[in-house]
Amino acid sequence: MKTVSTSKSHGGVQGVYSHASEACACDMTFAVFVPPQAKDGPVPVLWYLSGLTCTHANVMDKGEYRRLAAELGLIIVCPDTSPRGEGVADEKDNWQFGSGAGFYVDATQEPFAKNYRMYSYVTEELPALIAANFPADMSRQAIFGHSMGGHGALTIALKHPERFKSCSAFAPIAQPSTAGWSKPALEKYLGSDEAAWRAYDTTLLIEDGKRFSEFLVDQGSADGFLQEGLRPWLLEEACKKAGIGLTLRMQEGYDHSYNFISTFMDDHLRWHAARLG
């Protein structure tokens, strides 16, 4: 692991790091905020998964999480959204696929299977790196994310309910297997057999018996992707049928941007902190 940069913030340290990833077969970059409480011992870990076109830096620069994370004593881990670099297959003119659009899946189709293994990266490789190099209490983990990252957070929590004590999302893609901006990506990464897509679709995972204790979701009513891409009512229906607690808050007038995310970031941090102990 290499240190790209560190900077003191609210008594803690915001760092950016890189390493040679085995899962993604390329160098990967990620950000970690360590709060001041970590000097006294391990502290809880909150994972933030970003959306389409983003890197680790978007939430780090625009998410406004450090002040309250320092107050609450939370490590915030922000992975990248996809493999990158020379030799990594990409569609440079397609913002919904390839670089910046890994969809937190393990691709099975060539030429993407070599590098696009973001599910394994986020659930196996990067947690091991965090545990080995940071004052992280890995027995107290939570996860949240935005848009594509909200989809990632929800699906990962459903498949690892024993690991995460809480899960929330900003404007998640509720059913990516049928949404116009995600269905083509799933087919390219996973093949034409839609049965393989179910492992990466929140509503279908719930339909197939996966469970989590509760979710918090914020969604802007003025989000341009609401009707065709996000469709939170599908998540609401799936959770209701399964008996999963869902707090879905429609936020009047808010869009899909980091202005929306930063407005409600404190709410999510406090919600996770209460469940992390």
pLDDT number for residue 106: 98
Q: Report pLDDT for 81.
A: 98
pLDDT the model gives residue 10:
98
> What pLDDT is recorded for position 105?
98
Give residue 161's pLDDT: 98
Catalytic sites, residue numbers: 147, 223, 256
CA–CA dist 204, 197 (Å, integer): 9
The rounded percent of the chain whose pLDDT value lies above 70 is 100
Taking the CB of residue 85, how many other CB atoms lie within 10 A of it?
13
Q: Please report the pLDDT score of residue 225 as a whole number.
A: 97
d(CA 186, CA 69): 34
Distances (CA, A) of 205 to 154, 159, 216: 10, 8, 17
The answer, as to whether pTM is greater than 0.75, is yes
pLDDT for position 175: 98
Contact 136, 42 (CB under 8 A): yes
Q: Where are the beta strands (DSSP E) in the chain?
A: 2-9, 12-21, 26-34, 43-49, 75-79, 136-146, 164-170, 214-220, 245-251
The C-alpha atoms of residue 104 and residue 153 are separated, in whole angstroms, by 9
Return the pLDDT at 185. 97
Spans of the chain below 50 pLDDT: none
Phi, psi dihedral angles at 227 (to 5 degrees):
-75, -40
| Residue 98, pLDDT score | 94
